[in-house]
Amino acid sequence: MPAIVLTTLNARYFHAALGLRYLVANLGELESEARIMEFILQHKPADIVEALLAENPQIIGFGVYIWNVQEITQVVAMLKRVAPEVIVVLGGPEVSYECEEQEIVQLADYVITGWGDVSFAQLCRQLLAGKRPIQKILAGEQPPLSDIKLPYRLYNDDDIAHRFLYVEASRGCPFKCEFCLSALDKTAWPFDLDLFLDEMSQLYTRGARTFKFVDRTFNLNLKVSARILEFFLARLDDKLFVHFEVIPDHLPDTLKTLIARFPPGTLQFEAGIQTFNPEVQTRISRRQDDARAADNLRWLRANSNAHLHVDLIIGLPGEDMASFGAGFDKLVALNPHEIQVGILKRLRGTPIVRHTETYGMRYSPYPPYTVLATSCIDFPTMQRLTRFARYWDMIANSGRFPAALALILGDAPFARFLSLADWLYAETRQTHQIALDRLYDLVHAGLVTNMGCSNEAATQALARDYTSSGARGAPLFLKQGKSNADKTEKSKPVNQATRQLRHLAG
């Protein structure tokens, strides 16, 4: 039985907790006494507690994030009721700031704030030796990266076969965007590149083909970025997939040359534009050359096979709906494969809080602490924009509606899609759990009744989309279209040759 269990709740099974693996890799002599147990948000708290206690651990460490804090709070509360002798240690960004006011912190025995790679091991040694620290909240030590053991050997064969493998060539970020926890970093710290690439080579040899880099600034250092791209170019096959988060206004020719060599389906770039408004950028301490960023996105779209996922944020301090809409239209014109429309979240510890009073920032008191209203966007309007974001994800980002999307967006993408979003919500009062066939029918009805599109054009576009999507149902718009086509066919005069063919066929 392990003395130490490390656990968290992932959003989906195919996610794997890199942080837990770092903690185990750096336990030293205690590694043999530790076990990782991962759950997903859909698991019931009582079932999680049962599974954890079946291991008979002395210490349970939880990785706590904005997306799982509510569920883990229930697990910890139940755990301390039925097994108060088990020592609960918390870590992760959600409990690293504003600790005192959090219920989960009150329930736990210890909290390690910030970096836990070596501090968790130190705490476990004390606890297993019967020495309990007096302080509940312990500041994590940030060692040189050379003192941190890499965790990639702890990805097991099942992880390699079925999960995204999260990796990092560096930690931290030199930029100070106030909505991001990385604004608190002083710089970016690189891991030893030779050692890192050797670990990647071992993963690849074991069969890994999906690598998701969590580096905030993958393309910050040209030499490092180029070597990593060259590493994967030397190992191209039809299963390789690599995801990077890139700085959109920093794409030197050396990187462009390497990027252009990757085949379709291999590279995905996540680029954070967030806002095209220069005043808002300055207000949140974001440095961005918009013209260069736009040129780089155009180049990537025209000259590479990389899948482009670009982020915009609704609700930044001082940005109204007109400004966001103008930025959205500008980004649509750049034609990335996906536009992720996010609602601003007040992450604990981030400097964005300094704008709360000046710009009337009102946030939800519950995770993920999304903004509810600002001085520029009132609550009903923010609700409209939240629905806009949700429907955009369902329709545009799903990739199921390319032909219909061209009809929807026209020459005023933001205004037209917002109109469709308003209509969809008025019709359904739903933004989730809309069956696919029904969604096709709703988009068809919205195009015809709300957006002035002809029935024929809407039907043709959505029929192409539905067939291309691989769906095998029978949405109503297709049935009606077939019925109308049959009626038209029956009304045509039948010539003698057609009569003969029908007779022979019969």
Domain positions in the chain are: 4-145, 155-377, 398-506
Distance CA 183, CA 38 (A): 29
* β-pair partners for 63: 91
Distance CA 172, CA 50 (A): 37
- The reply to whether omega before 368 is within 30° of 0 (cis) is yes
Q: Which residue has the tokens 């539905």?
A: 466
Angle value at C-alpha 343, between 341 and 346, nearest 5 degrees: 145
The sign one gets for the Cα dihedral 74, 76, 78, 80 is: negative
Within 8 A by CB and 6+ apart from 143, the residues are: 115, 117, 118
Strands 241-246 and 267-274: parallel
Per residue of the chain (506 residues), give pLDDT as tens.
Answer: 799 999 999 998 989 999 999 999 999 999 999 999 999 999 999 999 999 999 999 999 999 999 999 999 999 999 999 999 999 999 999 999 999 889 999 999 999 999 999 999 999 999 999 999 999 999 999 999 999 999 999 999 999 999 999 999 999 998 899 999 888 888 889 999 999 999 999 999 999 999 999 998 899 899 999 999 999 999 999 999 999 999 999 999 999 999 999 999 999 999 999 999 999 999 999 999 999 999 999 999 999 999 999 999 999 999 999 999 999 999 999 999 999 999 999 999 999 999 999 999 999 999 999 999 999 999 999 999 999 999 999 999 999 999 999 999 999 999 999 999 999 999 999 999 999 999 999 999 999 999 999 999 999 999 999 999 998 888 999 888 665 544 444 444 444 433 333 333 33
Q: Note the helical H segments in 39-118.
A: 45-53, 69-82, 103-107
Could you tell me how far CA 385 lies from the centroid of its own chain?
19
The per-type count for the chain, helices as H runs and strands as E runs, is 19, 16
Question: Residue 6 in contact with residue 61, Cβ under 8 Å?
Answer: yes
pTM (2 decimals)? 0.91
Classify domain 155-377 by CATH number: 3.80.30.20
In single-letter form, the type of residue at position 506 comes to G
Q: Name the CATH architecture for the domain at 4-145.
A: 3-Layer(aba) Sandwich (3.40)
Angle value at C-alpha 451, between 448 and 454, nearest 5 degrees: 40
